[in-house]
Amino acid sequence: MDKKQPKTPTRVVATPEVLDTKRKQSLHQSIEERLAQIHLLPNDELIIERKELASTIVDTVTSFIPGADQIKRVLETQSKIDSKIKERKSEILIEAYMNKADSHEAAILGLARLFTDLRTSLLYKQLDSKMGSELPSKEVTEMLSSALKKVLETNLDEQFDSHKAVVRTIVRMDTQSLLLLKDHEEFPITRSQGRMMDSTDAPDSSVDWSFRCAKAYLEKKGITEEAIIFHFRACLEELLREGCISVKSEVNGNDLVLVSSFGDQILKYIS
């Protein structure tokens, strides 16, 4: 009896259209899903590959012959973890930008500029450094990817100096200050000190106002912890110091927070 010949498996050819669809599906993977791959411990330490680190620490602690080799292994493992965290964050920033791009073609052109233009690369590295220094969050990713889109999709020859000034300010400022600036329409009206305040004032000249404003702003959100109030006061002071806002005293005795032209410019990058 003749044996049946095994069927030759059908070969599936991936057409350019199929490959392009797969690339786009991969490209538009959820940012929240990628962020979820990085976990936070209660002490805010970022950690990836917990088992590898835990195993190394256990080996060191339980070793009957203490020495530099075990300590070196812990440090080397931590270095690898730090490197992977930074790499993951960079990937998230680039992916978030590509999700924001007006089209797939625009995203590719933007990335081409990033890797071929020295000025663009410089601005990207500054944004990437802030991404690397922050705890992973959707808010931070949104702000920095928006700024990257602004840099990559505008005329660099005409706007490089402007990009440089704004990006440096974004990188330098407390992230909470930037988030507060985005929420400036929620700033409360407080009682006046009787004059206009801007970035030229002495560092302690508006402390009373900033405390009152921070307290009233947070109370609207149901937050009364003193430590958080002082942090937000510092953020308001930073916004004033960096020239992003001014405080106008009205004749009726109220203080109004006004976003400056520079503050408006920053908002165009982070919104």
Judged against a pLDDT cut of 80, whether residue 76 lies above it is answered with no
Supply the pLDDT for residue 20: 52
Q: 197: domain range?
A: 177-270
Q: How many CB atoms lie within 10 A of CB 253?
A: 12
| Residue 251 domain-assigned (yes or no) | yes
Provide mean pLDDT across the span 258-269.
Answer: 94
| Residue 8 domain-assigned (yes or no) | no
Judged against a pLDDT cut of 90, whether residue 3 lies above it is answered with no
Q: Are strands 245-249 and 190-191 parallel, antiparallel or unpaired?
A: unpaired
Q: How far apart are CA 25 and CA 12, in angstroms?
A: 19
**Could you tell me if 141 and 184 lie in one domain?**
no
**Could you tell me if 50 and 152 lie in one domain?**
yes
Tokens of 111: 């990335």
Q: How far apart are CA 63 and CA 69, in angstroms?
A: 11
Among the three residues 153, 172, 191, which one is the final residue of a domain in this structure? 172
When divided into structural domains, the chain yields a total of 2
Confidence label for 47 from pLDDT (cuts 50, 70 and 90)? very low
**Could you tell me if 266 and 137 lie in one domain?**
no
Determine contact, residues 229/218, Cβ cutoff 8 Å. yes
Supply the pLDDT for residue 223: 93
| Residue 4 domain-assigned (yes or no) | no
Tens-digit pLDDT profile for residues 138-196 = 899 999 999 999 998 888 888 999 999 999 999 999 999 999 999 998 887 665 554 44
Which of helix, strand or coil describes residue 206?
Answer: coil
| Residue 82 domain-assigned (yes or no) | yes
Among the three residues 172, 199, 221, which one is the final residue of a domain in this structure? 172
Q: Report the residue count for the chain.
A: 271
**Could you tell me if 45 and 147 lie in one domain?**
yes
The gap from C-alpha 234 to its chain's centroid, in whole angstroms, comes to 20
Q: How many CB atoms lie within 10 A of CB 20?
A: 11
Q: How far apart are CA 31 and CA 19, in angstroms?
A: 22
**Could you tell me if 30 and 160 lie in one domain?**
yes
**Could you tell me if 122 and 64 lie in one domain?**
yes
| Residue 238 domain-assigned (yes or no) | yes
Supply the pLDDT for residue 200: 47
| Residue 15 domain-assigned (yes or no) | no
**CATH for 204:** 1.10.10
The gap from C-alpha 242 to its chain's centroid, in whole angstroms, comes to 19
Tokens of 242: 């960096």
* Per-chain mean pLDDT for the chain: 76
**Could you tell me if 71 and 164 lie in one domain?**
yes
**Could you tell me if 51 and 168 lie in one domain?**
yes
Q: Higher pLDDT residue, 17 or 141?
A: 141
Supply the pLDDT for residue 40: 46
Judged against a pLDDT cut of 60, whether residue 27 lies above it is answered with no
**Could you tell me if 113 and 225 lie in one domain?**
no
**Could you tell me if 230 and 101 lie in one domain?**
no
**Could you tell me if 147 and 31 lie in one domain?**
yes
Provide mean pLDDT across the span 131-135.
Answer: 83
**Could you tell me if 125 and 233 lie in one domain?**
no
Supply the pLDDT for residue 227: 94
Q: What number of CA atoms fall less than 13 Å from residue 173's CA on the CB side?
A: 31
Confidence label for 206 from pLDDT (cuts 50, 70 and 90)? very low
| Residue 13 domain-assigned (yes or no) | no
Among the three residues 172, 193, 227, which one is the final residue of a domain in this structure? 172
| Residue 111 domain-assigned (yes or no) | yes
